[in-house]
Amino acid sequence: MVANRQGKKRFLVLSLVLLAWVLAIVLRLFGLQVLGYTTYMAKIRAQTNRVEELHSKRGTITDRHGEILAISLQSKSAFISNKDAAHSLVVLQRFHQRLPLSGVQRAAIARRIRRGEKFVWLKRKLTDEEYLRVRPLAEDAAAAGTVDFLDEYRRVYPQGTLAAHVLGGVGIDEQALGGIETSLDPEIKGRGGRLKVLIDARKRIFQFKYLQQPVPGRDVHLSLSAPLQFIVERELAAAVEAHGADGGAVIMLDSRSGEVLAMASCPSYDPEAIWSTAPAVLRNKAISFLYDPGSTFKVVLAASALEHRACGRQETFDCHDGVFAVRDRRITDVHPFARLSFDDIIVQSSNIGAAQVGLRLGGERYYDTIRRFGFGRRTGIRLPAEENGILHPPADWSGVSLAFLSFGYEIAVTPLQMAVAFNVPASGGLRLRPLILRDEPLPPPERALAAGCSEQLAEIMSAVVRRGTGSKAAIEGLEIAGKTGTAHKIKTGRYAGSYVSSFGGFFPAADPRLTMFVMIDEPEGLHFGGDVAAPLFRAIAEKAMLHLGIFPDSPPPGGVRL
């Protein structure tokens, strides 16, 4: 009887233990399959699936004639399906032997392999030559199933360095890096896609599934002319080298519309290697280089004096034989003059004469003209990193500011701002916003100078080239209107012994087709604008006029007119 009770008691205990064990299993399964379903399924998917972002095809960029400047081409990207780290590392070494990788790249790939990542990029956006070199790995029995390829788009610039600073470039992940690629990135890049990578139980990639197809970006047509851009870049590079300069910039505008036909900054770079280019080289000097314009700014002074009738064109001014004091500051002329007419102050580029005109004109009237010519603010061109320039209001001027501003000091400008200003007399007194896009709507022009004053200014500027400081820009039989400039550079807050040489002008003077501004930064030896920048203007103009069919009015002596 006692034994029977003990047996029942043991059975009861075992039953309770078994029931508790079964209950614990049920509760655990309930927690895993019901309460934790979402969490654990997410972990399973994470282990068996991976979502890769795919880039869309960027829009094609062309010049005004349809010449391709930037295009995205389909290319192969190599990756490792990492199911065995030791084997994958051997395959990585074999890939490196066929297509050398940098030490940093190899180390980064090896780390991802050792971490157990199943999808590891080897190299993206291979060139056709690179793909042919590594494709046999995917067909090799020892590496098959480990190395494979995906289709992506690679940005290509068929014209090499042509218009690099206008175009900009893109990074490996299609991120825009400067130029039009940046300013129009939302339109050019389109909409990216998403790709799901499926991994089987043996941790092998067995399928790709598109979750979202990429949408290509829109094409962009620039106002640039590839032939003119080539001429400008070649001549600018030659001038920079010949004068041992730090660099330079050239802007060529259609005088009638304000369209940018060419924009060059030297030194240039390869847009396909933009990520490895020094920041100083990436800088587009045409829109971001700030400097005192020097005597080229006398064009604005002359425009203001004519507009406000501050003096007659033949009225003479005392030029003090080359030395003149304004308060405690001294103004000098390279070539001393006793007296000069208003016209000849511009033609011979007298700083003293310009200061006399400016003092008579007065600060408020001069400042008003400067603003109407577009200084002190961006031009509005559709390019990133454009500078405003520096223009202080008359209330902030010192007792000598007006005199020095009259010949282009105490103001900072960009070459593009100067090109737009020089286009005012070329366009009959209108200030036209520079356009870089071919299909960009023409904004309404702003009247910066009366038409009659514009004609008079063009006459004076023609005399600068015909018999003044701009004679080295002259082309026989073609009337060019222009102005030279030579300005000290500011370094560490003070004017240094280095210079910026420049020349702006337009032609044919009677019916302008092209407006151009050239700037050379820190030439060695000869540094006057008439010796450095004017010949560059001429070299470009001679070739541009032939391309556009602008012929001289009369043949040179002994020549034959075609």
Task: Domains for the chain: give ranges and CATH numbers.
Answer: 51-97+110-221 (3.90.1310.10), 226-548 (3.40.710.10)
- DSSP annotation of 72: E
Residue 561: per-residue pLDDT: 42
C-alpha span between 293 and 305 (Å, rounded): 19
Both tokens assigned to 31:
């927690």
Chain position carrying tokens 């520079």: 434
Both tokens assigned to 426:
């070329």
Amino acid in the structure at residue 434: P
Residue 562: per-residue pLDDT: 41
Residue 44: per-residue pLDDT: 47
Q: List for the chain the helix, strand, coil content (%; round to 5).
A: 40, 25, 35
Residue 53: per-residue pLDDT: 65
- What is the number of residues in the chain? 562
Alpha helix locations (H) across 362-433?
Answer: 363-372, 401-405, 415-426
**DSSP per-residue string spanning 244-257:** T-SEEEEEEEETTT
Pairing status of strand 514-521 against strand 316-318: unpaired
C-alpha span between 147 and 283 (Å, rounded): 40
C-alpha span between 88 and 110 (Å, rounded): 9
Average pLDDT by stretches of 10, the chain with 562 residues: 65 74 72 61 52 78 97 92 87 91 92 89 91 87 78 92 97 90 94 67 56 82 98 98 98 97 98 92 97 98 97 95 93 94 98 97 97 97 97 96 97 98 98 95 91 97 98 96 94 80 97 98 95 98 93 60 42
Give the other-Cβ count within 10 Å of 405's Cβ.
26
C-alpha span between 175 and 417 (Å, rounded): 29
C-alpha span between 218 and 61 (Å, rounded): 9
Is the Cβ–Cβ distance between 496 and 473 less than 8 Å?
Answer: no
Q: Which residues in 184-203 are b (16+ Cβ under 10 Å) and which e?
A: bbeebbbeebebebebeeee
Both tokens assigned to 271:
């847009």
Chain position carrying tokens 């499926």: 198
The dihedral of CA 555, 560, 561, 562: what is its sign? negative
Residue 84: per-residue pLDDT: 86
C-alpha span between 230 and 160 (Å, rounded): 11
Is the Cβ–Cβ distance between 516 and 440 less than 8 Å?
Answer: no
Is the Cβ–Cβ distance between 297 and 358 less than 8 Å?
Answer: no
Amino acid in the structure at residue 110: A
